[in-house]
């Protein structure tokens, strides 16, 4: 298990408002910084177990593109012979925004 995936799991889904210009305290900024650093250091392909952790920690709001990095990490676990298993994984996503995008991209593969 990658330490960066465990760090994402520890931090959970990041707080909303990253691109909204809201002013948050230092604790929220530390969470965002830690989350971005952890996601950026994930090595692909991720294992199925790692994808199961990541799918539950997705941002629910845009984060200056790092959400795409996480999406690509999750997608790296996809295998065409396990399409239904992958579809079930996507359904567990905590973020409607990310779930829609993962499903849209899956449909373009099949």
Give which of 59, 65, 61 is closest to 11, Cα–Cα.
59
What confidence tier does 22 reach under pLDDT thresholds 50, 70, 90?
low
pLDDT at residue 108 above 90?
no
Q: How far is CA 76 from CA 17, 28, 48, in A?
A: 27, 29, 9
Q: What is the mean pLDDT of the chain?
A: 90
**High-pLDDT (> 70) share of the chain, %:** 92
Mean pLDDT of 2-8: 97
What is the pTM for the complete model shown? 0.89
């Amino acid at each position: 298990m990658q330490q960066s995936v465990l760090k994402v799991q520890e931090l959970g889904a990041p707080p909303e408002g990253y691109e909204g210009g809201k002013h948050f305290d230092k604790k929220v900024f530390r969470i965002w910084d830690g989350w971005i650093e952890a996601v950026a250091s994930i090595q692909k392909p991720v294992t199925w177990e790692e994808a199961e952790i990541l799918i539950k920690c997705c941002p629910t709001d845009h984060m200056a593109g790092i959400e795409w990095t996480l999406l690509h990490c999750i997608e790296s676990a996809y295998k065409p012979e396990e399409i239904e298993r992958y579809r079930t994984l996507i359904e567990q996503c905590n973020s409607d925004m990310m779930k829609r995008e993962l499903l849209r991209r899956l449909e373009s593969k099949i």
